[in-house]
Amino acid sequence: MVADSLVAVTIRSLVLIIVLLTVFAYLMLFERKFLGWFHLRLGPNRTGPWGLAQPIADGVKMIFKEDIIPRDADRFIFKLAPVISLFVAFAAFAVIPVGPPLKIGNWTVPLSIADPNAGVLVLLAFTSLGVYGIALGGWASQSKYSLLGALRSTAQMISYELTMGMSLVGVILLAGSLRLSDIVTAQESLWFIVRQPVGFILFFISVVAEVNRVPFDLPEAETELVAGYHTEYSGMRFAMFAIAEYVNMITVSSLVTLLYLGGWRGPAFLPPVVWFLLKVSFFVFLFIWMRATLPRLRYDRLMAFGWKVMLPVAFLNLVATAAWVAFR
């Protein structure tokens, strides 16, 4: 009954990539619009009505830009790094279900490419791989700014991943499964944000650090390191890093939604997928809001915060949850 043949998976993957790219393009537009409004500006409004053709213009520009590779760069790794970033970003999204399986006639179409029984682990694995793109890109550029950006990024992502994993375990203990759709099902009566408030806060802070957004955007700290790890990148390769960053943003927003906000669950007057999109949009908006408002943390403070505050609290949270699950 489940048509999970190779053909079906390929079709779903293609659809996912196209959808993600479109969402990325318009997310970029909306981010610029929202930032504009936060800044008392208009935002892009010249290309097309309400600036709607702006993503196309951006894309065309990026493709036609000269592709510059620094003379001293390690050419192979330099070209490989953005590919890693982009691949990992898309691959991570593969296990995210955006709604319950869709029934069309007697076909059942699952709304994710795969729903493995270790979905959370797959996600963690892929998001951890993302650091390679950044570290290698920064290293291969042979620029000091890129190098510093890459070093910072590596340190930051590794330290915050720990907290992220720790806070995740709380949810997994409560749900009793690593499969994302099971976790959503487990939130039928009560969202995990209510039962795991500390875990939610920890998780959200660490994913912000994980995707390098303000106030944790140190790897690309514009005013210190020019553009951090992608200083030397131009044209489409630069765009690949940008796409990866935004897709990661969508991924982690979806993850927060799935783990803590009941995924696609919501009152029945809207279809589940719409609920899911609304919740994800809320978190994406939160990312943009923070970007407009918050200053950047200093590197040493960031590390200290990660190791001395976030990690111990995450441990405590985990122990408390485990005790509750064991003795209830």
Partner 1 sequence: MATRSPEYFTHQGYEVLETLDGDRMILSVGPHHPSTHGVLRLILELEGETVVRCTPEIGFLHTGIEKTAENLTWQQAITVIDRMDYLSPLSNNLGYVLAVEKLLGLEVPPRAVTVRLLLAELMRIASHLVWLGTTGLDLGVQSMIMYAFDLREGILDMFEEVSGARMNPSYFRVGGLAADLTPEFERMLRDWLQRFPKRYEELRALMEENPIFLDRVRGVGAISQEDAIAWGLTGPNLRATGVSYDVRKAFPYMGYETYDFEVPVGTAGDTYDRYMVRVLEMWESYKLVQQALERLPDGPWQTDDRKIVRPPKHEVRESMEQLIHHFKIVSYGFDVPAGEVYVPIESPRGEFGVYLVSNGTNKPWRVRVRPPSFYNVMAIPKMLEGNLIADLVSVVATVDPVFGEVDR
What is the binding site for partner 1 (CB under 8 A)?
A: 35, 38-41, 71-72, 142, 144-145, 147-148, 214-215, 217, 221-224, 226, 291-301
User: Among residues 73 and 277, whose Cβ is nearest to partner 1?
Assistant: 73
Give me the least distance between CB of 223 and partner 1, in Å please. 4
Q: Tell me, what DSSP letter sits at residue 309? A: I
Give me the least distance between CB of 296 and partner 1, in Å please. 3
Give me the least distance between CB of 89 and partner 1, in Å please. 24
Give me the least distance between CB of 205 and partner 1, in Å please. 12
Give me the least distance between CB of 151 and partner 1, in Å please. 9
User: Among residues 214 and 252, whose Cβ is nearest to partner 1?
Assistant: 214
Name every residue whose Cβ is closer than 8 Å to that of residue 29 and which is 6 or more positions away in sequence: 44, 51, 52, 54, 55
User: Among residues 9 and 35, whose Cβ is nearest to partner 1?
Assistant: 35
What is the DSSP track for 20-53?
Answer: HHHHHHHHHHHHHHHHHHHTTS--S-SSSGGGTT
User: Among residues 121 and 292, whose Cβ is nearest to partner 1?
Assistant: 292
Give me the least distance between CB of 240 and partner 1, in Å please. 23
Hey, which bits of 100-222 come out as E strands? Answer: 102-104, 107-109
Terminal Cα distance for the chain, rounded: 39
How do 102-104 and 107-109 pair as beta strands? Answer: antiparallel
Peptide bond into 101 cis (omega under 30): no
User: Among residues 13 and 142, whose Cβ is nearest to partner 1?
Assistant: 142
User: Among residues 40 and 268, whose Cβ is nearest to partner 1?
Assistant: 40
User: Among residues 298 and 308, whose Cβ is nearest to partner 1?
Assistant: 298
**What's the CA gap between 60 and 276, in Å, rounded?**
31
**What's the CA gap between 328 and 324, in Å, rounded?**
6
Among residues 224, 120, 114, 101, the alpha carbon closest in space to that of 168 is found at: 120
Burial of 273 (0-12, 13-18, 19+ CB in 10 A): middle
Give me the least distance between CB of 31 and partner 1, in Å please. 12
